[in-house]
Chains A and B, each alone.
Chain A
């Protein structure tokens, strides 16, 4: 459905996208994951025919971005980054303009506008000026704009940025629902977002795809390593017995934890960061170890790799390609 071949984009001396190739099947929900400046937005701008690639090409449904931009624009819905809107219109006027531009007419137009207002929860602000809307309503208006013509392909640039946790959940559910019948590409720099909404991920860094695969594949890749952050209290610093526990691969950190204000002094706290085998029951053995050695565990937090750590891992391993 969407085919990108050796896609590249230069802005002057900066090469934002460096020869990216990928294919996306109809009905997939694909996440572009990467830190800021990885090239996610640029790829989306090329796919939506907002700008030409410097080299390479892309086709959507067989239409080329160079020769057939009108056909592509017609089948797309696009939510640009930060959901730009016409602030001197109200929500209804804005959706009316978009629906007109998308070629919706008559009762079908009125019906679709009504539907997206419901789907995106815009009822309370229909006749309010867009300049008075909160960030959450603006984002939802932008989303309503993108889906009003029921497009086959939906391209969403950071659809949940700047929203509060409740709104994020709502938007993710909406995207999931839309993803059941549409091809969706969304970009984000939040790992959990991809897991929550996408069935496939392209991980980008510095303009290149460093890994791609289904969310399960990426997850499994990440599961290779789990870090436990453990805080214990006890008389002395934990010794070498810790490293001998089966399931513990490496003691990354073993040092006295700072005494926080308000905590009773005297109780010696130690912060341990352990690299462990996943699903090996190491937590239980750790508990037994603490009892045997006279420590008390006050906190045990499994830590996930942050996006930065994930990139370091993926790029170090030579762009391990899960596909």
Chain B
């Protein structure tokens, strides 16, 4: 099944980097991270050798960034009619979905990788706990992958990029912040637990502190698996 996934990944990456989208998203993200850390969070004044403040804001930026990366993946294929070319090539639906997912994940990796100079340069001025930094980066990648799989699924339902972007932005906004509802209303304990379990953002709290908890890890993996599965089912269902 995986023997012909490489062409899909390569084609998706070419599409990303032949169009402005990859550059715009990457530059925006890296620029925002730097401004946030140094200017808004006054990193040097805080005098703490930790990137917690940076990773605290990442879930919120991903609410916008992930829909921007994934909005075109299926919606544009449908609009341009290339869906007909793609789906009549000898690929399984699962190969196509996984290929698009991995291509977006690679873009995420590049984007997040470009923030690495921050800790590497700052390491000269303070004693970073590198275990914490590694944990934080693992968390960011997992959170991003979950966002990508949601965005891809929404894109497979949408008919154009804009609606795909707005709907996945809305879905991610709700699922990132749903645990905040508990702070405002006093909900039945069961409902409150469900909300905080479903929150994409809440599962990031441990990662933000550099803790890799298998429960959080499993949660993100399950979210990816669920939405990728739904994406495959959507493709098959559309054949009817």
Is B88's CB under 8 angstroms from A73's CB? yes
Cβ-neighbour of B4 out of A49, A80, A101, A129 (below 8 A): A101
Given contacts A86-B15, A93-B11, A103-B90, 7 further A-B contacts (CB under 8 A): A49-B239, A50-B239, A70-B92, A76-B88, A84-B80, A86-B82, A89-B11
Q: Does A82 lie at the interface of the complex (its beta carbon under 8 Å from any beta carbon of B)? A: yes
Asked if A45 is at the interface (CB within 8 A of a chain B CB), the reply is yes
Q: For the complex, give the distance between the alpha carbons of A304 and B82 in Å.
A: 37
Q: Which of B4, B6, B15, B81 is in CB contact (< 8 Å) with A89?
A: B15
Verify if A282 is at the interface (C-beta below 8 Å from B). Answer: no
Residues of chain A within 8 A (CB-CB) of B130 are none
- Distance in angstroms from B9 CB to nearest chain A CB is 10
Q: Which residues does chain B contribute within 8 Å of A145, judged by CB atoms?
A: 85
In the assembled complex, which residues on chain B have CB atoms less than 8 Å from the CB atom of A50?
A: 84, 87-88, 239
Known: A52-B240, A86-B11, A89-B14. A70 touches B85 (CB 8 A): no
Contact B84 A84 (CB under 8 A): yes
Complex Cα distance, B56 from A141, in Å, reads 48
Shortest Cβ-Cβ A-B pairs, 9 listed: A84-B81, A100-B7, A80-B84, A74-B90, A73-B90, A97-B11, A101-B89, A88-B18, A48-B88
CA of A80 to CA of B88, assembled, Å: 10
Closest B residue to A98 by CB, please name it. B89
0/1 string, A66-96, CB within 8 A of B gives 1: 0000100110101011101111110001000
CB of B10 closer than 8 Å to a CB of A: yes
A88-B15, A97-B7 given; A82·B240 CB < 8 A: no
- Report which of A82, A87, A101 forms a contact with B91, defined as CB distance below 8 A: A101
State whether the Cβ of A112 lies closer than 8 Å to any Cβ in chain B: no
Interface of chain B, main secondary structure: helix
What is the number of residues of chain B that contact chain A, defined by CB distance less than 8 Å?
Answer: 25
CA gap between A78 and B86 in the complex, in Å: 11
A102→B19 CA distance, assembly (Å)? 25
Judged by a CB distance under 8 angstroms, whether A252 is at the interface is no
Q: How far is the CB of A287 from chain B (nearest CB, A)?
A: 53
Give the complex CA separation of A85 and B85 in angstroms: 8
A26 on the interface (CB 8 Å rule)? Answer: no
Within 8 A of A (CB), among B179-229: none
- Assign chain A's interface to a size class: 20 to 34
Please report A residues at the B interface, Cβ cutoff 8 Å. 45, 48-52, 54, 70, 73-74, 76, 78, 80-82, 84-89, 93, 97-98, 100-103, 129, 145
**Smallest CB–CB gap between B76 and chain A, Å?**
9
**Closest Cβ–Cβ distance, residue A152 to chain B (whole Å):** 13
Query: What's the dominant secondary structure at chain A's contact region?
Result: loop
Asked if B4 contacts A103 (CB within 8 A), the reply is yes
Chain B, residue nearest A66 (CB): B239
| B74-102 contact mask (Cβ, 8 Å, vs A): 1 or 0 | 00000011111101111110000000000
Closest Cβ of chain A to B29, distance in Å, is 21
Q: In chain A, what residue has the closest Cβ to B7?
A: A100
Closest to A9 in B: B240
Chain B residues lying within 8 Å of A52, measured Cβ to Cβ, are: 239-240
- Closest chain A residue to B236 by CB distance? A52
Q: A102, B239: Cβ atoms under 8 Å?
A: no
Which residues of chain A come closer than 8 Å to B8, judged between CB atoms? Answer: 101
Nearest A residue to B93 by beta-carbon distance?
A: A69
Q: Pick from B19, B83, B89: contact of A88, CB below 8 A.
A: B19
Cβ of B92: which chain A residues have Cβ within 8 Å of it?
Answer: 70
Pairwise interchain contact B15-A80, C-beta atoms closer than 8 A: no
Considering the complex, give the chain B residue whose CB is closest to the CB of A81. Answer: B81
On chain B, the residues within 8 Å of A89 by CB distance are: 11, 14-15, 18
Residues of A within 8 A of B15 (CB): 86, 88-89
Question: Which B residue sits closest to A82, measured CB to CB?
Answer: B81
